[in-house]
Amino acid sequence: MSEAMRDRLIVGLDVPTLTEADRVVAALGDTVSFYKIGHQLAFAGGLGFARELAGSGKKIFLDMKLLDIDNTVAKGVENIARMGMTMLTIHAYPKAMRAAVQAAEGSGLTLLGVTVLTSMDDADLNEAGYALTARELVKKRVAQAREAGMGGIVCAPTEVNEMRDVAGPGMALVTPGIRPAGSDHGDQKRVMTPGDAIRAGGSHLVVARPIVAAQDPKAAAQSILDEMAAA
């Protein structure tokens, strides 16, 4: 049953070098089919690596969290679509999302709206000048993402169940902040186990440190896939 979960587990290549990223991918082999590349690896040659992985048949979630004026966002999305990426994040501001959706039309690239980072809680948002709670702001941005025509959103697993009602059945709900029972939460504040996140309605789970920092990454990934399948 865990085979059915392979395309729903996204391993975050949150490592500092291409050598380390290549080591993780080689260790995981066919167990993992989907990888996330974010800022750390992107600025160490990871964009070329993303193209190579996509060319080898892997799915790639490019986590760039784009936000800029409409034209700049659109031009960036157009080029990323040409790279063969599967998913791309855009900060869930309505104008940026609308520009991105128009630029990605017909490409097959799934655009994800970033609602509220999972490292942030209500106190962090208050410090940043927001009057809304994390849950209220996520809910508002999910509705705006759906209206803009985005393919999905990124939210904490603790918010998935409620946000599915707002997003509707067609949008992907991608959840970072996944931590197997007993593992260190690190800088994540709104976390959930893989099984609980699947039961809550998450479509894709992003897992980085519990896999890439494990002594046996392949065994760690398989254990998470098994837990997802059992859920």
> Which residues make up each annotated binding site for substrate?
14, 36, 63-72, 118, 179, 188, 208-209
CA angle 67, 68, 74 (to 5 degrees): 90
Among residues 118, 128, 129, the alpha carbon closest in space to that of 190 is found at: 118
Separation of alpha carbons 141 and 86, rounded Å: 22
Alpha-helix runs per DSSP H in the chain: 18-28, 39-41, 47-55, 70-82, 94-104, 122-127, 134-148, 160-167, 194-200, 209-212, 217-230
Provide the sign of the torsion angle of the four alpha carbons 20, 109, 156, 136, taken in this order.
positive
Give the catalytic positions in this structure: 63, 65, 68
The answer to whether the CB of 223 falls within 8 A of the CB of 231 is: no
Residue 172 corresponds to which tokens in the numbers above? 């992907």
Write out the binding residues.
14, 36, 63-72, 118, 179, 188, 208-209
β-strand partners of 204: 174
Separation of alpha carbons 226 and 48, rounded Å: 32
Among residues 36, 219, 46, 210, the alpha carbon closest in space to that of 114 is found at: 36
Calculate the CA 176 to chain-centre distance: 6
